Amino acid sequence: MMPSKAAPSRPDPLSYESLRQQILRRDGWRCQSCGAMSNLEVHHREFRSHSGSDSEENLITLCSGCHARAHL
Ligand SMILES: [Zn+2]
Ligand SMILES: [Zn+2]
């Protein structure tokens, strides 16, 4: 199997988990804000309502600290 951005999938829990892993891999297992490599979480960017789906472009890897700040 090749990682591909070809197939938009429905955000069911199972595919969401694999999507999370895909985002973490894409971002090199680093917080995209500060570069931390622990306590990583996947954050939905602001325009979720625009496409209405959990596409890769809507997601970014953040550590828990930066993620908390992103939600302030
Ligand atoms: Zn961070
Ligand atoms: Zn978030």
Give the pLDDT confidence of 35-58 residue by residue, as tens digits.
Answer: 999 999 999 886 555 555 667 888
> Which numbered ligand comes closest to the C-alpha of 59?
2
User: What's the CA-to-centroid distance between 1 and ligand 1, angstroms?
Assistant: 31
Of residues 60 and 8, more confidently modeled: 60
Rounded CA-CA distance 64/13 in Å is 21
Between 6 and 46, residue with greater pLDDT: 46
Taking the domains of the chain in order of start, what are their residue ranges?
30-72
- Helix segments in 1-72, DSSP class H: 13-26, 48-51, 64-70
Distance from residue 19's CA to the centre of ligand 2 (Å): 15
Residues 6 or more apart whose CB falls under 8 angstroms from that of 39 comprise 63, 64, 65
In this structure, which ligand is nearest to the CA of 23? 2
Closest ligand to C-alpha of residue 62 is 1
Nearest 5 degrees, angle CA 56-CA 62-CA 64? 135
